[in-house]
Amino acid sequence: MVKGTLNELSQLKSSGFGQPQPRHGLNLLYWFAHDYIDVSNGDIVPRFKPQNGDFGFHKYQNRIEEDDHIVPIQNLPYYEVGNLKAQGADKLPDYVRANFSTRNPDCNKDRIIVRRDANGSFDRVYVTEHSDPKLFNSSRTYRVSQGLLKIIKNMSRELYLSQLSSTQEDHIRFTPQSRHETVPDNNSWCTIL
């Protein structure tokens, strides 16, 4: 079940979502807030239809995992995005896919799950991570508030990442300069594609 709601950047930072490198979740969330949605009049409105599969979106079934649903049971469709191997994920920006490598599962463990209401808006946005190749970690699943999405949307990516980085070294790693360099992380390597 959802652990809590993230309302501020400091809460996102302390949640550990998308961290440490080579994880892609922080860049994925930035792309989502900055380019995929508009937030207005109390609604989170997607610029594209997730049911079309753009950017690797696909239906999330909200299956029971360890006797618990990861997000609340509702008679509304859920969609997820963030699997860098999914069809359509190649349309995500380079900065989201930068550290992807099939040799390191940490490069592809972060996801965003959205719940679509009857009007086509998203009435809930969640961030989560895989605990293993098939299951999500319910203790690492958080709802993201509209307020936090607005904060992220109004920031440059550079400022956003600097606010979430623990050290200058982390900040440099979150913002790769070249598409063809190799970034070391904890004795593992993820090739920037």
pLDDT at 180: 35
pLDDT at 173: 46
Model confidence over 33-77: pLDDT tens digits? 999 999 988 899 999 999 999 999 999 986 555 555 678 777 899
Find the domain containing 52 and state its range.
4-191
Q: Output the pTM of the full model.
A: 0.83
Q: Which among 38, 33, 26 has a CA at the least distance from the CA of 129?
A: 26
- Within the chain, residue ranges assigned H as helices are 9-15, 25-31, 94-97, 146-153, 157-164, 168-174
Measured over all CA atoms, what is the biggest interatomic distance in the chain, rounded to whole angstroms? 47
Number of domains in the chain: 1
Helices (H) and strands (E) in the chain, counts: 6, 12
Q: Which of 56-60, 77-81, 131-135 has the lowest mean pLDDT?
A: 131-135
Mean pLDDT of 113-118: 94
